[in-house]
């Protein structure tokens, strides 16, 4: 009996010991194994894109009541999100994230922060492109497609809700082709998701399960939970070629335009750099300086940062054969932007001086200063005054002066010209207004 009892006791002790052993902390190798088991496709997607997502902050401080600029309030700091589309520092966000200020900061997950300037915007579709000057190449976010999204598939939102940087939420695609109406705008073809989107997520990416961009987070339903909306990436693809047109951004003459599902040359200007290099209508561009090009937007993104005088190597497909052409970019003929602005809009312009940029805490390329206004011209009729800052014309930045001339040269009498103007008050941040002028 005693022997049997001892055996039971010993057996019990052995069981206890075994249980204790299984609860001991795992070794380093075991922990790595367990971590690998927990690394889902969602985790892998987030790890792939985390360095491409940014926080965007804008400072607004305005007071007083003054003419067209309405009632002004105290300082406010707004926060949104964005993502890198080009290694040289181009970032996409919502237009409403940057619309109310000239003072923008872009912050990465590692804490690096840069001043940013808006280089192109599309208010109608709520999209904007910013430029920063990084010390080293950035990691662009891979663009997916939204024409093949599936209802119920995973969706990942990354952004900065309520200022909480790099917040990741997960949900599914709830619906497609939604229409959202506001007082001043209507957005169509939106993606609906139940991935949590909150104030501060605006402009951030909506991703699929493999980490590709499928949408730009833009709006929520404040009267409902987990009902968020994103601009489909295919809409972004369609708009970027015009927003990133290097002839308007950098006053560079190339002489071709691509279109269609592939980067096919659909327009070619006679005696332009592209034509002189041997490019033909119908050619399909497959590489730019070694960078693969699959669609027209890939070509436009690859061309960012190129300046007049530089050469561009194009790999082309023509009648099934692969060719390489080298194009030397030319400078668009300079124009007197101030003279053209006076003739068509009734205001003279000059660049922001170094002293003024320091005093107003603005970049010198933030826009053009209005130095004279024709009292009977389009600018005066909408309330523009001397010393105002013209920040943008249409979707483009009003800078440099010859760039202003290029933007206005084809404007005809009574054509609408949308402008953004800032007015400065001593001791306060600038007040901003969007106006529509009609050319004379």
What's the rounded Cα separation, in Å, for the pair 309 and 327? 10
Is the domain of 320 the same as that of 344?
no
* Residue that is written with structure tokens 């939102």 in the block: 157
Is the domain of 224 the same as that of 257?
no
- Give the chain's radius of gyration (CA, Å): 27
Give the model confidence (pLDDT) of 225-246 as tens digits.
788 999 999 999 999 988 999 9
What's the rounded Cα separation, in Å, for the pair 111 and 354? 29
Is the domain of 386 the same as that of 310?
no
Going by pLDDT thresholds of 50, 70 and 90, the confidence category of residue 33 is: confident
Task: Count the helices and strands in the chain (H runs, E runs).
Answer: 12, 26
In a domain? residue 143: no
Domain count, the chain: 4
Give the domain-ending residue among 185, 200, 233: 233
Which CATH number fits the domain that encloses residue 263?
Answer: 2.30.42.10
Examine the residue annotation and report whether 357 is marked as an active-site residue of this protein.
no
In a domain? residue 18: no
| Region 334-338 average pLDDT | 93
Is the domain of 286 the same as that of 327?
yes
In a domain? residue 277: yes
Which CATH number fits the domain that encloses residue 73?
Answer: 2.40.10.10
Is the domain of 343 the same as that of 320?
no
In a domain? residue 259: yes
pLDDT beyond 90 at 20:
no
Do 129 and 84 touch, CB atoms closer than 8 A? no
What's the rounded Cα separation, in Å, for the pair 91 and 26? 43
Is the domain of 215 the same as that of 163?
yes
429 backbone dihedrals φ, ψ, rounded to 5°:
-70, 160
Picking from 176, 153, 194, the residue whose alpha carbon sits closest to that of residue 42 is 153
In a domain? residue 68: yes
What's the rounded Cα separation, in Å, for the pair 118 and 99? 9
Give the model confidence (pLDDT) of 90-129 as tens digits.
999 999 999 877 789 999 999 999 999 999 999 889 999 9
Give the domain-ending residue among 270, 296, 331: 331
50 backbone dihedrals φ, ψ, rounded to 5°:
-55, -40
| Region 174-199 average pLDDT | 89
pLDDT at 359: 84
Annotated catalytic residue within 57, 202, 338, 392: 202
In a domain? residue 238: no
Return the minimum-mean-pLDDT range out of 75-79, 271-275, 276-280, 339-343: 75-79
What's the rounded Cα separation, in Å, for the pair 45 and 217? 17
In a domain? residue 13: no
Examine the residue annotation and report whether 126 is marked as an active-site residue of this protein.
yes
Domain containing residue 266: 252-331
- Please indicate whether residue 186 or residue 417 has the higher confidence score (pLDDT): 417
β-bridge partners, 79: 57
Is the domain of 432 the same as that of 359?
yes
Is the domain of 201 the same as that of 118?
no
pLDDT beyond 80 at 28:
no
Annotated catalytic residue within 58, 78, 96, 298: 96
Is the domain of 53 the same as that of 96?
yes
Do 293 and 283 touch, CB atoms closer than 8 A? no
Residue 416 DSSP class: E
Is the domain of 323 the same as that of 352?
no
Is the domain of 323 the same as that of 349?
no
Examine the residue annotation and report whether 95 is marked as an active-site residue of this protein.
no
What's the rounded Cα separation, in Å, for the pair 313 and 290? 8
Return the minimum-mean-pLDDT range out of 79-83, 181-185, 379-383: 181-185
| Region 296-324 average pLDDT | 94
* Residue that is written with structure tokens 């306060």 in the block: 428
In a domain? residue 31: no
Is the domain of 367 the same as that of 417?
yes
Residue 47's SS3 state is: helix
Give the domain-ending residue among 171, 204, 233: 233
């Amino acid at each position: 009996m005693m022997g049997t009892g001892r055996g039971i006791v010993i057996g019990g002790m052995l069981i206890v010991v075994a249980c204790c052993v299984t609860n001991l902390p795992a070794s380093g190798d075991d922990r790595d194994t367990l971590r690998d088991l927990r690394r889902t496709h969602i985790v892998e997607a987030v790890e792939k894109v985390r360095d491409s997502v940014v926080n965007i902050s804008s400072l607004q401080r305005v007071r007083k009541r003054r003419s067209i600029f309405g009632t002004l309030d105290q300082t406010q700091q707004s926060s949104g999100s964005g993502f890198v589309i080009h290694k040289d520092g181009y970032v996409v966000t919502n237009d409403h994230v940057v619309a109310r200020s000239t003072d923008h900061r872009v912050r990465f997950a590692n804490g690096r922060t840069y001043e940013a300037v808006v280089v192109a915007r599309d208010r109608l579709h709520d999209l904007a492109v910013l430029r920063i000057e990084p010390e080293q190449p950035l990691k662009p976010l891979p663009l997916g497609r939204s024409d093949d999204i599936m209802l119920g598939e995973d969706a990942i939102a990354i952004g900065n809700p309520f200022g909480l940087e790099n917040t990741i939420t997960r949900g599914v695609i709830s619906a497609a082709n939604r229409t959202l109406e506001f007082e001043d705008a209507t957005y169509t073809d939106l993606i609906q998701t139940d991935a949590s989107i909150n104030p501060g997520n605006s402009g951030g990416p909506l991703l699929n399960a493999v980490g590709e961009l499928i949408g730009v987070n833009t709006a929520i339903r404040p009267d409902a939970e987990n009902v968020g909306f994103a601009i489909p990436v295919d809409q972004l693809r369609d708009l970027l070629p015009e927003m990133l047109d290097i002839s308007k951004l950098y006053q560079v003459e190339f002489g071709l335009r691509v279109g269609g599902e592939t980067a096919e040359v659909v327009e070619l200007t006679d005696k332009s750099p592209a034509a002189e290099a041997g490019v033909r209508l119908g050619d399909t561009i497959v590489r730019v300086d070694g960078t693969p090009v699959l669609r027209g937007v890939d070509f436009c993104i690859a061309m960012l940062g190129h300046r007049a005088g530089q050469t561009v190597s194009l790999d082309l497909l023509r009648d099934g054969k692969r060719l390489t052409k080298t194009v030397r970019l030319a400078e668009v003929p300079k124009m007197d932007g101030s003279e053209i602005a006076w003739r068509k809009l009734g205001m003279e312009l000059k660049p922001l001086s170094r002293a003024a940029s320091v005093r107003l805490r603005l970049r010198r390329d933030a826009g053009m200063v209005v130095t004279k206004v024709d009292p009977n011209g389009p600018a005066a009729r909408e309330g523009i005054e001397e010393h105002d800052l013209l920040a943008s014309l249409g979707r483009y930045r009003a800078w440099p002066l010859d760039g202003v001339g290029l933007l206005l040269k084809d404007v005809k009498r009574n054509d609408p010209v949308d402008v953004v103007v800032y007015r400065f008050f001593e001791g306060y941040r600038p007040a901003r207004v969007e106006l529509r002028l009609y050319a004379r």
